[in-house]
Structure 1
Amino acid sequence: MFKHTLPSFLPLLVPSLTWKVQTSDKVVFLTFDDGPHPEITHWVLNILKQHNAKATFFCVGENVTKFPGTYHSIIDQGHATGNHTYNHLKGWTTDNQRYYDNVSRCATLVKSKLFRPPYGRISPLQIGKLKRQGYSIIMWDILTRDYDSNINIEQAIQATVNAAQNGSIIVFHDSEKAKRQLQQILPEVLKQLSDKGFTFNKLL
């Protein structure tokens, strides 16, 4: 079975990336990739509000261009945003200069120095360049796999809840592809982690 948590050696191999927040507080960091989406992102915002939760949305520039009102709703409700490239490019298979230009194009819309590489795939050269430009590159320690339409929902919920630790960074997707799974997983994760005493904050 595909694991929802990363192998422990990965953060050791690439320590310059943020895999988890070092904190003694009982807080986790929910992140949402690939939006904004005019329906799904607003649904997420409403659910977060019900739980007094803040989160970080890694936005695709192309979607910000299409749905600027939704993007501004994220900010207006006190959440953080991050750069997820303009066209959702995969770093491993994209020319370096094209990749940097795509990040810069997104940056004209998403005013944030938080960056998450689409698919989690980014080369050492790309890491170095973006770090020199002042970006914090945010990865994760828990992947909900809400993008997988064949996932066992209950297993995904329990794997996420059981893996959560102080400072965990959890990945969801506010996208059409993830919609059905997200709408079942997110409310339960929020409820069960709240019951365990966790709070939910945005990345800074």
Structure 2
Amino acid sequence: MNKFCPFYRENCKGNECVMWVEGIEDRDIKCLIIGYLGTTMALCSRDKLGEYEPSDFESGTKREPEIPEEILSATAEELAAELLELMKKEFPNDERRGIADVDSLFWDMKGVDRYDLSPEIKLKIRKAQSLAQHAIWDENQIKYIQKLEQEKTELPSLVNLYADWAKERGFNKVTIADTEAFLLEKNLEVLPETRRSLYALTNVQLKSKY
């Protein structure tokens, strides 16, 4: 074996070289270096003949992402309704949740990759998100007002209960901390407005009786 090795710059050592591959019967060239150079030259030749097709990255071209037909045909309002439905399904009793909690899941289920979208599709998606979020806020606000009205009707009896609780402990005045302790002991959860009213009205009642 007297062939000159361009890599090591000395005569080829054959199977004594680490770049030599044995045990592959259908391989004519057992030198990895010569094999690599041969493959590279073949690719270059194919490129010159027009057989090589560069990738999108190499050519600098950009493929538009495929958008499902249901996204293209649906309005922002329709998408918002679906998004809201998913939100209620996943978190039916949690008013603290928002659209952001299911947003990614929703678009993944729709097969939408939200990167590199056209401006029109981006606008539709953002509008759908905004509509769904405002719908949740509106529903939560209605529930809040309804709960507040209900607590207002129950407030007089709650004040009496709190005043009796305070008198049993010898209090002629209650503090905010006392109010929290009372609600915790009675396992009651009320809105901040009701809590403030309970504190103020109970002090008025205690003052009038002492």
Q: With structure 2 as the length reference, what TM-score do the two structures score?
A: 0.18
Structure with higher helix content: 2
Work out which structure has the larger RCO, using CA pairs closer than 8 Å and 6 or more positions apart in sequence. 1
Q: With structure 1 as the length reference, what TM-score do the two structures score?
A: 0.19
